[in-house]
Amino acid sequence: MSGPLSGITVLDISSVVAGPLATMYLADQGANVIKVEPPSGDINRRSRQKVSENGQFSALFISTNHGKRSIALDLKNPEAMAAFRQLLLKADVLVQNFRPGATEKLGIGWEDVHKINPRTIYVSISGVGDSGPYVRKRIYDPMIQALSGMADIQSDQNTRRPQMIRTILADKTTSIFTAQAITAALFAREKTGVGQHIKLSLLGTMLSFLWPEAMMQYTVVGRERTAAATNVGPDLVFETRDGFMTVGTISDAEWQGFCDAVERPELKQDERFATAELRNLNSTERINIMAAILREGDRNEWLRRLDLGDVPCAPVLRRDEIIENEQVVAMNLVQTLEQPFVGEVRQPAPAALFNDTPSTIGGPAPGIGEHTREILSEAGLSASKIEELIASGAARTS
């Protein structure tokens, strides 16, 4: 056994980010993840930042599909679908993010798959679920940031203009929720012996993700108008003479430590900042005062003083600084591997560390249909049948 999910087979027929990233996490944890893609390849292979000489790899594809094997099947072809159903006989998990109703038309909806293999855990990822007035909308990450309140949370403090987070936060958050739900369903199957249907939506995931602090104002029914808003103050990025940094002063001890570090003891007696609740209510004034103080000094000196006072702080790193950051290097958080047709690539180390069943990057991202023959053979198809599928275009091998 190499990873905690060793022995688990996952069929990934999803595309873009949320589904593929979720199954990549499972691959890092030892699962046998089979990427089932059309003969033209996952659309993500052709996304921005193409990096390979053969045109099959983008940086985003590599970072959402490493450690998997690829089989290329035209699931609209009856012969290819028959082969896919053979794969289902040994599948522990199937992950799909087709539009609602699409898999049913193909004959591989939840009910169909449950009849073929009652032990299979079936995962459906959608933008806004499978009912309601928005169900037919085309949904991408910005639509979810708009609908979930994420853009409102990021509103400009002066103009109140909503702003987007400049990363696909909804997709990536959903991938984490998906991976967790799959492992929970696998645990449940150990007790029941049967699989179940898991449904996740990007919208539902983001509401769940944001709620604990971003929706505090709306938690107690009837008190929405009197509760403090959660995004009333400026952000916690502070400019110094030679760079940017951040500081956290939630507890009384942290606030007092900040005041001592910047040699402003009178702020400890300021009634506006006497408690955590008051510091939150008066966050704009407090943060503006902190910004004015920190602007007058050098970043490393402030960080040194704040560390001595046990006040949470860190430099705000530019992306080109992250790889060489001393803490990132010490934890070996960025690793390298050889990607065929690309060269040496960087990937983040698996986030969860298991002492008995270590997780690991299981290898590079696969080419389109790189493992088609191998996977079909494992499913029990004869060599002649496999070649027939490839010759007809129902399957593809690289």
How far, CA to CA in Å, does 253 sit from each of 32, 286, 310, 311, 338?
49, 16, 9, 8, 48
Q: How far is CA 50 from the centre of its chain?
A: 21
Strands (E), the chain: 9-12, 32-37, 69-73, 93-96, 121-126, 197-201, 238-240, 243-247, 313-315, 334-339, 343-348, 395-396
Check if the beta carbon of residue 92 is closer than 8 Å to that of residue 186.
yes
Q: Could you tell me the two tokens for 108?
A: 């591989």
Query: Is 171 considered catalytic here?
Result: yes
Which residue(s) pair with 33 in the sheet?
10
Q: Phi/psi at 125 (nearest 5 deg)?
A: -115, 130
Check if the beta carbon of residue 26 is closer than 8 Å to that of residue 63.
no
Which of 171, 242, 270, 307 is labelled catalytic? 171
Q: Is 110 helix (H, G, I), strand (E, B) or coil?
A: helix
Strands 197-201, 121-126: pairing is parallel
Which residue(s) pair with 246 in the sheet?
314
Contacts (Cβ under 8 Å, ≥6 apart) of 346:
323, 334, 335, 336
Nearest to 270 by CA among 255, 253, 292, 250: 255
Report the alpha-carbon distance of residue 353 to residue 371 in Å, rounded.
Answer: 29
Looking at the annotation, which residues are catalytic?
Answer: 171
